[in-house]
Amino acid sequence: MTGAAAVPPFETQDSETLRAALAAGDGVNHETALGGFVVEGQARHARLILCHGAGAGHDSPFLTRLRQQLAACGIQVVALEFGYMATMRQAGKRRPPPRIERLVAELSEWHRALQALDGETPLWFGGKSMGGRVASLLATQVEMAGLVLCGYPFHPPGKPARLRLDHWPEIRCPLLLLQGTRDPFGRRDEVEGYDLPAQTECHFLDGGDHDWKPPKRHARTQSTLIDEAVGHVSRRLGASE
């Protein structure tokens, strides 16, 4: 798969599968031409489209706990899979993601399909690391209720000068940022020095790395940091009614 390949559109059958999954919210895996997805919970407050990172899909323990806890708070989570990850899962072989423009185009198709099915429920986008970056780029192209960025990759580890913030001034929607204080893609002391959009609400998770894992003898655990993040997300998205 290359960045130049056409993004497969949502077919009628895919849209009906998505419609039924949104109504059920039962956490069952589904397949579409774009990739797999899971819908967790009912949209009592809002709907969050959650994108995975570069190396692990939406079934990772991190994203599974995150979406299940959010669903328990009344946030419906649509955890989707980019096409390259579906190919990797089906072939059983690791492969790098395509160019970021390709992933933005795929997410744009999900946005179109979801808006066509339900234009009333507040639709937030976000994700883990690369997935959050893709969502933030899409936010400069389409309207959305807001962004939830979990461990944003501000720069490659060890290369703080290579910032991925050029498009952030174009983001107009609310932006909720959840970042581990020890994240090598953007530590707290680094992020606090960035000129972020005025509407950014940032919460640092004490001791967390890029996966929100604190040191072994830390008072917190990855699970408690995920739960802390869920509290911030549910409060913010609950206010979007």
Token pair for 90:
């089906």
14-238, CATH topology level: Rossmann fold (3.40.50)
End-to-end Cα distance, the chain: 39
Predicted TM-score of the model (pTM) = 0.94
Q: What percent of the chain is predicted at pLDDT more than 90?
A: 85
Torsions phi, psi for 47 (to 5 deg)? -125, 130
Q: Give residue 55's pLDDT.
A: 85
Range 124-151 average pLDDT: 98
pLDDT at 4 over 80: no
Return the domain boundaries, the chain. 14-238
CB neighbours of residue 84 within 10 Å: 18
Q: Give residue 238's pLDDT.
A: 86
pLDDT at 239 over 60: no
Torsions phi, psi for 139 (to 5 deg)? -65, -20
Residues belonging to the chain:
241
What are the pLDDT digits (tens) for 27-60? Answer: 999 999 999 999 999 999 999 999 999 988 888 9
Burial class (CB in 10 A: 0-12, 13-18, 19+), 221: middle
pLDDT at 2 over 50: no
What are the pLDDT digits (tens) for 25-35? Answer: 999 999 999 99
Q: How confident is the model at residue 240 (pLDDT cuts 50, 70, 90)?
A: very low
In the block, tokens 């489209």 appear at 49
Range 172-195 average pLDDT: 98
How far CA 140 is from CA of 97, 121, 133, 146, 156, in Å, comes to 21, 20, 11, 11, 22
What are the pLDDT digits (tens) for 221-233? Answer: 999 999 999 999 9
